[in-house]
Structure 1
Amino acid sequence: MLKSEPLRRHAADTHIGGSETVRRVSRMLGWACLGLVLFGINTVLAEIAHHAGAVTYVFTRTLLWSIAPYLFAFMMLHRSLHLPAMEGNSLAGLASTFPFVALLFVFAAFHIEYSRGALLLGYVTTLAWIWIGYRRYVHNYVPVFGYTDPHTLEQLESMLTMPGAAPPSRIRFEPIGSLEDARHCDGLMVDRGTTADPERTRQLAQYKLSHVRMYSVERVGEMLTGRVGLAHIDENFLDDYAAHYLYGYLKRAIDTVAVVCLAPILVPIGALVAMAIRMETPGPTVFRQERVGLFGKPFVMLKFRSMSVDPNASAQFAARRDPRITRVGRIIRKYRLDEIPQLWNVLVGHMSLIGPRPEQAPMVEEFSGTIPYYPYRHLVRPGLSGWAQVQQGYVGTYAETVTKLGYDLYYVKHCSFALDLLIGVKTVRTLVTGFGAR
């Protein structure tokens, strides 16, 4: 159960206006600006080394170029802070690496001369500075949320305890009795479903005018778990989805380019997998099954066959140590090699590289009638890998499917380039470790 703690006052911060969240944002911004001093020192030392004949002028110029990806990395990290703090190491590495990889492409595309040593120095400086800052101000920081109604803690508890869910991030909750108490919290957790009364309205308005951040119970639950609570979906859900509508067109272009680039590597691997399947058991190499895609439209999904052929088989969850799975099938399912044919589905537009996994049509029909908001997962194109897969793994029960839907709807609500990159990084971990396979 969630427990609250007595409020610990920090007298040293009372002269600073606003909530603790505002102060933390200011500190992180100051940390980013302080990092520019490091680049300044590196540039001065590089110029001295250039005059001494140790390096060329290109070394200094490349260091100056590195300031751009450094700033972009902090901006990207700031845009990703809605994700749970337990994703910190992945976020810091991703935010640091991607801008420098992009800079390399710029150098290559425009034939700009650069120094590999200087670029490496800029990257290491950025990675170290972002990692230290994130650990100090975000990952190791235990946020404090205030509340005025104990009922809000009960609501949050129901969102945190779900079958098959990852443990939530660390957090403290404290009762709020005054404006001074609220200012020492990262935010005030409120229940938007509570009937409004004049006294409560005046009190919340006072907190808001004093720059105290306010979060609904639903929003706090999302920040802690990375999933949407199905019993607490608010009326802004569809508005949030609409804000990411145009990203779908950019994502489609990225998917097409990525499949073309991956094909020379994955097609030969797929040929070897097909040979192994054919040698072990009779029957077709590629398995075709109707799945439900974007906006609920059915399509035929391709997959390397990993089970013995059963013409009378019906839609069902795969169990642990499922006897239907062949020896080759167990290997290719563990490392997701059975999904290589789905690159064709991505290329023709049935699927995306990142998105909720497409489900079998009979299951969709069943779940749409029994799980609230289930059809909302079809607002985005289904994917080879998704937020639910890298957070939860395979699901095998109805209760776990409900939890999985929470992750899928979180992706629908917050889909972005940064989130897709994070899922891609965690998917690589899945491919290496076989996490969540059955």
Structure 2
Amino acid sequence: MLSRAVQRLLGFGFAVLLPTLAAKGGSVWETSDLSRAVTVLTIALAYWGSLTCVQRMSRFPGVRAYLLSIPAASACFGIPFLLLYVTSIELIDELYLASYLLTSLYCTAGYWVGRHYRVHKLAVVPFGKALSLCHSHGVDWRYLETPDLGEARVDGVVADLRAEFTPEWERFLAHCTLNRIPVYHATTNFERLTGRVQLGHLYENRYGSLQPDEGYEALKRSLDVLAVLALMPVALPLMALTALAIRLDSPGPALFTQPRMGFQCRPFVVYKFRSMFIDHRGTGFTQDGEDPRITRVGKAIRKYRLDELPQLFNVLKGDMSLIGPRPESMDLADWYQKDVPFFHYRHVVRPGISGWAQVEQGYAAEVDGMNEKLEYDFYYIKNISLWLDLLIVLRTIRTVLTGFGSR
């Protein structure tokens, strides 16, 4: 009953078949055969797409799937509706709306119940470094003393697969696999729960496994350009108002430029709105707490990320992507390279306006914070995909609305 296939079928009956059967015989059903067929087919595909989006994004750590249900359903139902409207193909609007509302309700309620009343249970095989990596993260850990689950029901077994096991434990892991109980490698499970690739375990991933897919990189570049062009009608007036506010608030230019370390360690010039006084000196990075160099307007545009808007032009030029590791200044990049292992490997992908580290961690400038930030960046590089990028976009919207992680 808890499998995804069963949940999909139950939802299909609730959100697609139920409103369709209820509409039969009513006045809303009195349309052409083509309209009825197109409506039923479209809501079936939109429902399936909604659940697929939520399930794919919910695989990443820290995701509250019930918060993604309404945005996913709105996109999957809204886009086909607009396309059919443009092509003048008639839909049964009442049936379409009912299915959209039921899909949103089913996904939101189902994932909310699952999050609040179902605890993830994992059994731990006590060999190697499994014990040191298996703690907290909202998981009910079951530390095994013998190679037997007994009557316990678990969602998976975690083991250090590079450790040496006795024959009894090897048979136990094989038995789990045969009975469809997932067996996770300890470091992979840590990444799955935290969204970070530990620097000390980076050698286990091998550099090649962190190499992004070239096909998706090409698709990502095309999507970046299309998204920026679509945003420009809204972004340009907002940039004009922001530039005016900066000029009225303090003397100096509205734009700020700075050399940054970019794709494949090539330097480029990043564009930002100026958020500091031009005659105040300080360290090479924003200070903790109240930085006296930041202007009144600067505090507001930093909090809501409006200072990043000119980087849309960096995206069009190809220096940056909408999503990726944040580019560091050349001074900070040189500093981090000396103190942070594997730092330059983060430049294997284009830097982004927003990224996994920003939505998970916020701002980091000190070396300790940079180590954690780099672990998030490596997780992004290792798992780069359309679904992860979509998740970051949604979390970035939340960040802009709440001001999380601003400095």
Q: Look up the match of 2:119.
A: 142
Q: Could you say which residue in structure 2 is the equivalent of 1:47?
A: 24
- Report the 3-state secondary structure (helix = DSSP H, G, I; strand = E; otherwise coil) of the residue aligned with 2:25: helix
Equivalent position of 1:411 in the other structure: 380
1:155 and 2:133 equivalent? yes
Moved more, 141-150 or 312-321: 312-321
Aligned ranges 1:343-382 → 2 under 5 Å: 343-382=312-351
Cα distance per residue 1:352-379 (max 9 Å; x no partner): 1111111112212222232223223222
1:227 and 1:351, CA in 2 relative to 1: closer, same or farther beyond 3 A? same
> Equivalent residue for 1:15?
none
- 2:103 maps to a residue whose letter is T
Q: How many residues were matched structurally? A: 403
Structure 1 residue 192: deviation in Å? 3.1
Per the alignment, do residues 325 and 182 of structure 1 end up closer, same or farther by CA in structure 2, a change over 3 Å counting? farther
Where does residue 318 of structure 1 map in the other structure?
287
1: CA distance, partners of 2:191 / 2:315 = 29
Structure 1 residue 228, shift from structure 2 partner: 2.2
Deviations along 1:113-143, one digit per CA (max 9) or x if unpaired, are 2244332222111111122332344564211
Among 295, 298, 304, the alignment partner of 1:329 is: 298
Q: CA RMSD in A?
A: 2.6
**Partners in 1 of 2:338 and 2:46 — Cα distance?**
48
Shift of 1:344: 0.2
User: Are 1:107 and 2:111 counterparts?
Assistant: no
**TM-superposition CA deviations, 1:322-372 (whole Å, max 9, x none):** 000011111111111111110100111111111111111221222223222
Partner in structure 2 of residue 28 of structure 1: 4
Q: Measured at CA, do residues 242 and 112 of structure 1 come closer, stay the same or move farther in structure 2, by a change above 3 Å? A: farther
Q: CA deviation at 1:262?
A: 0.9
Aligned equivalent of 1:88: 65
Asked if structure 1 preserves the Cα contact closer than 8 Å seen for 2:124 and 2:159, the reply is: yes
Is the CA contact 2:224–2:321 (under 8 Å) kept in the aligned structure 1? Answer: yes
1:67 to 15, 34, 44: 44
Of 216-225 and 346-355, deviating more is: 216-225
8 Å Cα contact 1:291/1:361 also seen in 2? yes
Read off the aligned partner of 1:153 and give its amino acid letter.
L
Q: Which moved more, 1:360-369 or 1:333-342?
A: 360-369
Seen in structure 2, the aligned counterparts of structure 1 residues 122 and 234 have a Cα distance that, compared at 3 Å, is farther
| Structure 1 residue 95 displacement after superposition | 3.3
Provide TM-score, normalisation by structure 1.
0.84
Q: What residue is the counterpart of 1:8 in the other structure? A: none
Maintained 8 Å contact 2:53/2:387: yes
User: More displaced, 305-314 or 325-334?
Assistant: 305-314
> Displacement of 1:41 after TM fit?
2.3
Question: What are the equivalent positions in structure 2 for 1:223-238 lying under 5 Å apart?
Answer: 223-233=192-202, 235-236=204-205, 238=207
CA–CA distance in structure 2, aligned partners of residues 154 and 411 of structure 1: 23
Report which structure shows greater RCO (CA 8 Å, sep ≥6).
1
Deviation, 1:312, is: 6.3
| 1:60 to partner: Cα distance | 7.0
Do structure 1's residue 98 and structure 2's residue 75 form an aligned pair?
yes
**Paired residue for 2:100?**
123
Structure 2: gaps spanning 5 or more residues: none
8 Å CA contact retained: 1:350, 1:381: yes
SS in 2 for 1:129: helix
Amino acid at match of 2:296: R
Mapped to 1, the partners of 2:323 and 2:268 lie a distance apart of: 17
**C-alpha distance in 2, partners of 1:216/1:62?**
45
Q: Conserved in 1, the CA contact under 8 Å of 2:211 and 2:381?
A: no
Q: Which digits, 9 at most, give the CA deviation of each residue in 1:38-70, with x for residues without a partner?
A: 2222112212113xx676454674244201011
The residue identity in structure 2 corresponding to 1:70 is Y
CA contact (8 A) 1:222 1:228 kept: yes
Q: 1:76 to 1:125 in 2, by over 3 A?
A: same
* Structure 1 residue 183 displacement after superposition: 7.2
1:280-320 Cα offsets, whole Å, 9 max, x none, are 22222211111112222111000011111148655224322
- Deviation string for 1:244-277 (max 9, x for gaps)? 3321111111111111111111111111111222
DSSP-derived class of the 1:319 partner? coil
Where in structure 2 are the equivalents of 1:209-228 lying within 5 Å? 209-228=178-197
Structure 1 stretch displaced more, 227-236 or 350-359: 227-236
